[in-house]
Amino acid sequence: MSCMILTGNAVLTGDFFHFIILIMQKISGRILLALLFLLTQIAITQAQQKPDGRIDDLISQMTIEEKVGQMTQLTLDMVIKGQPYAPESPATIDPAKLEKAIGKYGVGSILNTASGLQLDRNQWHEIIKAIQDKAMEGRLKIPVLYGIDAIHGANYVKGATLYPQPISVGNTFNRELAKELAAITAYEIKAASMPWNFSPAMDVGRNPEWPRLWESFGEDVYVNAELASATVEGYQGTNPAAFDKVAACLKHFTGYGAAHSGKDRTPAYVPERQLREYYLPAFQQAIDAGALTLMINSGEINGVPVHVSRYLLQDILRDELGFEGLAVSDWEDINYLHTRHKVAPTVKDAVRMAVEAGVDMAMVPVDYNFSDNLVELVKEGTIPESRLDVSVRRILEVKMKLGLFEKAVFDPQDYPKFGGKEFTAKSKAAAAESIVLLKNDKNILPLPKTANVLVTGPTAATLRSLNGGWTYTWQGDKADEWGGQYNTITEALTKKLGQGQVQYVQGADFDKVTDMQNAVMAASAVDYIVLCVGESSYTEFMGSLYDLNLPAAQQELAHAMAKTGKPIILVLAEGRPRIMREIEPLASAVVGTFYPGMEGANALADILFGDSNPSGKLCFTYPRHSNSLITYDHKTTEMVLEGNVGKYYDPQYEFGHGMSYTDFKYSDLSIGKNMLTADNAVEISVKVTNTGKRAGKESVLLFINDMYASITPSVRRLRGFKKIELQPGESQTVKFSVSAEDVAFVGMDNKFITESGDFEVMIGDLKGKFVAKMEKP
């Protein structure tokens, strides 16, 4: 007997059916209903895990136009009232525009928020329900895949929890925290019926000029790989279709952060060895962690735009890294092959080149040129229809793994934790853990709560400098207007101490002196000056710089404050390290807040006045000079000139630097049997003791130096890290297991290799050695 039962879009096979018949003879009522429900859920899960048959059936029924529609992604402005980039308020669906997008063109994906407008989760529910309802009117009833940039929380959903940006998460060196924050994001964007998040950014930030440095987890390959993988786990969990999970999107494949000029979307020149050593490993690890989707680098590498590089998008991404998911373009990047990169004589050529290279979905986003041109290319025989089938299969697989065929719209009321106290507390705790105490002469911090304080500087009274871009809007320029319920630095300090103990005078804006003399006068009546400098919010090309130095107006304010003779607490509120070597010596303490989120000011106030103990450490090198932007894992030849004539590597603060209000002593470094082989790892342990008077967290960083190699080795590479918390007097032994793969490098043949030889281990102020003995092939 052959039989199957359809349950929605899921299928119960004959084996289940036979089992049901047998048990129906013996049980009935509620037990039977419960069992039927359970079997149905099992069938749905099986269908999500093995969707090939369903996908084959769908693809076989699809026209060329329908397949191209699935490969097309439009911005929300294309289906709501108003014009692109200028929608009407409030945001509402335009039936005619929706009919064109979904009814006529069969668009498979929509993204983004309504330009310049803020939507709460109930508005999102109404809009996405209308979109999905329209999709269900189609003959094949394929749901729309909705995507959003939720970079530090559900930043496009009113009332959502916004936490530290990725660079600050990097400063925590805390995998579990990264996972927890990503899980909050997944929960809160799913409350708005959005199942796809364009995060995490995998762009290893090795140039501090780059305006998207803060969207990365810093300059180190290993940190990016570990925290990005944890983020993927937080987004997707074990079942991306769960009510509180979403699809992750790794971006931007690959080498996006390597722009030679440091400016956004400008050419990168990356030799093959460096590409494999620094820019591919994080993607490999996140792909292995199960990431469902990936976004392509908007830039070019070695003169070839990544969107037309079959070598990168097929040979490496698919064949080597094993990525099987959906690869989407970035914003308008296929058109840019014609208008910016100048490799495609026409937009139609651009479409052909991108599809032939391996792009699955085009983030178009404000016209139908991609769809029209691709249909033409297939019908005229330039691109075979079978090429469309490859991408459509990937797109449908993602939709099925997300359970969208079963449920594509979610009730906002089913998410009671949305924007609540639990998530807010986690945001504040994350901010506190991300803030870095960079300098603390004579233990001037924490300050006494009896102190009178002057707060001054351009970042003291704005939320933009605490949050950066992707905060309510693309550039974060509405943070102060729409985030008024949150505290600026000045407001947080005032609430901490009381109105009578805190004075605020701006002194200088970001690029010009304002009421500096008033600030000087106010300083005479206080005990301490909290000088807040840095940057406003920005992202992408809007944040590209001509000069990495802190603007002259802010430095002038610092010198004026120093002349008052009052101790200065310098607060750096910025998304990248602005050079400030001239004013750093003027400060008694320096605290780094690198876009710590909406609770960042409260966390900073707690740290400044001793209610919280800082534990952040820099996940990037803070340079001292604009012509010496050298990463921590530099080569020996970048350290000093012959005869110590001059310095090359001379940072303001090193990678991994960060102080605490307590003291940690490292002792008892142990290195197993001191012999590393292809099959046997080296076991390394160190004892860490809190010798201070208060509890504290410590990131234990394991650095290893391959002392001699066939390719010039770095002076050190981070090969492990663990975050621990110790009470006063408490000790903990921290263990690492280092395999041959962990210390491998890319050799002459552009393949990873571990060579025999001596390796130096560095943890805290301790050093040791082990030997590698590798069998020759």
Cα 53 from Cα 41, distance rounded (Å): 18
Q: If you ran DSSP here, which 8-state letter would residue 516 be given?
A: H
Question: Is 330 tagged catalytic?
Answer: yes
DSSP string, 606-649: HHHTTSS------SS-B-SSTT----TT-BGGGTB-GGG-SBS-
Contact criterion met (CB below 8 Å) for 23 and 35: yes
Token representation of residue 677:
């082989």
Instruction: Write phi, then psi, for 418 (nearest 5 degrees).
Output: -55, 125
Please name the helix (run of DSSP H) or strand (run of DSSP E) that holds residue 533, with its range, or none.
Answer: strand 528-534
Task: List beta partners, residue 761.
Answer: 704, 768
Burial degree of 418 (CB within 10 A; 0-12, 13-18, 19+): buried
Cα-based distances in Å from 702 to 89, 699, 717: 53, 10, 8
DSSP string, 369-402: HHHHHHHHHHHTTSS-HHHHHHHHHHHHHHHHHT
Cα Rg for the chain, rounded, in angstroms? 28
Q: CA nearest 572: which of 525, 526, 539, 620? A: 620
Contact criterion met (CB below 8 Å) for 218 and 167: yes
Helices assigned H by DSSP within 99-250 = 121-136, 166-172, 175-190, 221-236
Contact criterion met (CB below 8 Å) for 399 and 109: no
- Residue of 77, 203, 330, 706 marked catalytic: 330
Label residues 537-573 b or e (16+ Cβ within 10 Å = b).
bbbbeebbbeebbbbebbbbbbebbbebebbbbbbbb
Burial degree of 25 (CB within 10 A; 0-12, 13-18, 19+): exposed
Could you count the other beta carbons within 10 Å of the beta carbon of residue 34?
11
Q: If you ran DSSP here, which 8-state letter would residue 75 be given?
A: E
Which sign does the torsion angle of CA 84, 405, 323, 175 carry?
Answer: positive
Contact criterion met (CB below 8 Å) for 714 and 678: no
Cα 398 from Cα 71, distance rounded (Å): 13
Q: Give the pairing of strands 664-671 and 682-690.
A: antiparallel
Token representation of residue 680:
């046997």
Dihedral angle, C-alpha 763, 764, 768, 769, nearest 10 °: 40
Contact criterion met (CB below 8 Å) for 692 and 663: yes
Which sign does the torsion angle of CA 115, 118, 122, 123 carry?
Answer: negative
Catalytically active residues are 330
